[in-house]
């Protein structure tokens, strides 16, 4: 797709969402398990991704595919209930189109949640992890291609891709709520297969604490266009080879389900404190 068509898609999607739900200051991408959090919005309006021109529609089971906007703790918050992933076959430009739409809608802060495998052996399934940084080992980058000068520079800095202020705030909120919070480096791989035990040993040697198939493209694009980002992972399973058992999507879903109330309370506390 040429740049002009892509920019038109962004503007058309932003206009459709603005009409259906209005603008927002904070955006939350709800990973699997957290979708119910949209109930917390008051004066909420929503629109299905399928009804937003140019918007990518998820094929993953358990991803509802709706954009919500409403009031939460006195702030205008939009929530993405479901997202698409590179492994579904989407171009990363489309995976990250929603972030550029957020920018057009006035969003300043992006909170991205995900499910991840624990690479750090001191983690346990059900732990929550504050992303302090990331490793992009996917071999891909959502900013590949002509730079979108309207959004940001050709060579954006990634030193503070994840906002240190939001990390500090999240630590404080977790402590006040009594929520145990791990911290670490999230490694993005394309998927969709889970990693091999050898890959997990390699990732650990390279400094990864968790591994997953999402979030990093969104954070890169958010940084490019000047949004502050916070990344939070639910460690749904220990990564391949750490325990003497195979990984399953079912385990990922079950752990997500088990800790979703705590995860939600943390995100909610962060938004309240912002
Ligand atoms: N690997 C990659 N992605 C994941 C995992 C994992 O172990 N668990 C949840 N998402």
Catalytic residue among 6, 9, 32, 210: 32
Q: How far is the CA of 273 from the centre of ligand 1 (A)?
A: 30
Q: Which residues contact 229 (CB under 8 A, 6 or more apart)?
A: 109, 110, 111, 112, 161, 162, 163, 166, 218, 219, 222, 223
Q: What is the structure's pLDDT at 58?
A: 75
Bridge partners, residue 45, by sequence: 69
Q: How far is the CA of 212 from the centre of ligand 1 (A)?
A: 5
Q: What is the structure's pLDDT at 31?
A: 86
Q: What is the structure's pLDDT at 62?
A: 53
Based on the residue annotation, tell me whether 224 is a catalytic residue of this protein: no
Q: Which atom of ligand 1 is nearest to the CA of 213?
A: 3
Q: What is the structure's pLDDT at 63?
A: 57
Residue where the block lists tokens 């999607």: 13
- Strand pairing class (181-188; 210-212): parallel
Based on the residue annotation, tell me whether 122 is a catalytic residue of this protein: no
Q: What is the structure's pLDDT at 40?
A: 95
Q: Which atom of ligand 1 is nearest to the CA of 212?
A: 3
Q: What is the structure's pLDDT at 107?
A: 98
Based on the residue annotation, tell me whether 88 is a catalytic residue of this protein: yes
Residue 234 Cβ contacting ligand 1 at under 6 Å: no
Residue 212 Cβ contacting ligand 1 at under 6 Å: yes
pLDDT by 10s per residue, the chain, length 274? 889 999 999 999 999 999 999 999 999 999 878 989 999 999 999 999 999 999 988 766 655 699 999 999 999 999 999 889 899 989 999 999 999 999 999 999 999 999 999 999 999 999 999 999 999 999 999 999 999 999 999 999 999 999 999 999 999 999 999 999 999 999 999 999 999 999 999 999 999 999 999 999 999 999 999 999 999 999 999 999 999 899 999 999 999 999 999 999 999 999 999 9
Residue 152 Cβ contacting ligand 1 at under 6 Å: no
Residue where the block lists tokens 């879903």: 253
Ligand 1, pocket-test mutation among 195, 197, 231, 235, most atoms within 8 A of CB = 195
Catalytic residue among 13, 27, 37, 63: 63
């Amino acid at each position: 797709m040429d740049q002009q068509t892509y920019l038109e898609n962004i503007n058309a999607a932003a206009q459709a969402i603005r009409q259906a739900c209005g603008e927002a200051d904070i955006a939350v991408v709800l990973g699997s398990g957290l979708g119910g959090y949209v109930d917390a919005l008051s004066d909420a309006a929503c629109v299905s991704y399928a009804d937003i021109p140019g918007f990518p529609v998820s094929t993953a089971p358990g991803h509802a595919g709706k954009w919500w906007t409403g009031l939460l703790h006195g702030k205008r918050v939009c929530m993405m209930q479901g997202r698409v992933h590179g492994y579904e076959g989407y171009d990363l430009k489309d995976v990250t189109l929603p972030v550029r739409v957020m920018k057009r809608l006035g969003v300043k802060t992006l909170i991205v949640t995900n499910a991840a495998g624990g690479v750090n052996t001191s983690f346990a399934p059900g732990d929550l992890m504050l992303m302090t940084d990331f490793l992009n080992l996917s071999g891909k980058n959502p900013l590949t291609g002509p730079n979108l000068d309207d959004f940001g520079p050709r060579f954006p800095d990634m030193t503070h891709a994840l906002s240190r202020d939001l990390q500090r705030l999240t630590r404080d909120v977790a402590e006040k709520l009594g929520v145990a919070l791990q911290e670490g480096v999230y490694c993005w791989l394309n998927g969709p297969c889970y990693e091999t035990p050898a890959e997990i040993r390699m990732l650990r040697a390279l400094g990864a604490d968790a591994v997953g198939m999402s979030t990093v493209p969104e954070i890169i694009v958010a940084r490019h266009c000047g949004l502050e980002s916070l990344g939070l992972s639910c460690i749904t399973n220990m990564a391949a080879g750490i325990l003497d058992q195979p990984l399953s999507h079912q385990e990922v879903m079950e752990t997500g389900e088990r800790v979703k109330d705590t995860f939600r309370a943390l995100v909610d506390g962060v938004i309240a404190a912002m």
